[in-house]
């Protein structure tokens, strides 16, 4: 997929960028180079290759999943003007 100078002008206008003619030409070349690289990458045969979660072999540091704090919701909500089912009730500010 190759872009034209018209495409770059449209992208610049939508991005609210003011580009000189030299910048438009340079941007056109850079974007087309990127598209060429993407097309090359899409031709690579990746059948049988498992996707990676991380580019480096990093071991995750896991901890035991246990509660370390006490439930203080009632204490925090005691000062609220109105609470229902552990939810703060606030006045409606947007009309339907």
Summarised one tens digit per residue, pLDDT across range 6-45 is: 999 999 999 999 999 999 999 999 999 999 999 999 999 9
In a domain, 56, yes or no: no
In a domain, 89, yes or no: no
> Distance (Å, rounded) from C-alpha 62 to C-alpha 26?
48
In a domain, 81, yes or no: no
In a domain, 90, yes or no: no
In a domain, 43, yes or no: no
| Token pair belonging to 41 | 């990458």
Contact indicator for 12, 19 with CB cutoff of 8 Å: yes
Asked whether the predicted pLDDT for residue 1 surpasses 90, the reply is: no
Summarised one tens digit per residue, pLDDT across range 54-66 is: 888 878 788 889 9
Q: Which residues contact 73 (CB under 8 A, 6 or more apart)?
A: 86
Domain that holds residue 28: 5-35
Number of independent structural domains in the chain:
1
In a domain, 24, yes or no: yes
């Amino acid at each position: 997929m190759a872009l034209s100078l018209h495409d770059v002008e449209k992208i610049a206008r939508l991005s609210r960028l003011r580009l000189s003619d030299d910048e438009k030409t340079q941007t056109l070349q850079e974007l087309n180079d990127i598209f060429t690289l993407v097309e090359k990458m899409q031709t690579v045969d990746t059948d049988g290759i498992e996707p990676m979660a991380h580019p480096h072999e990093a071991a995750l540091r896991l901890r035991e999943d246990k509660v370390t704090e006490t439930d203080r919701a009632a204490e925090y909500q005691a000062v609220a003007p109105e609470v229902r089912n552990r939810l703060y009730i606030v006045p409606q500010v947007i009309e339907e």
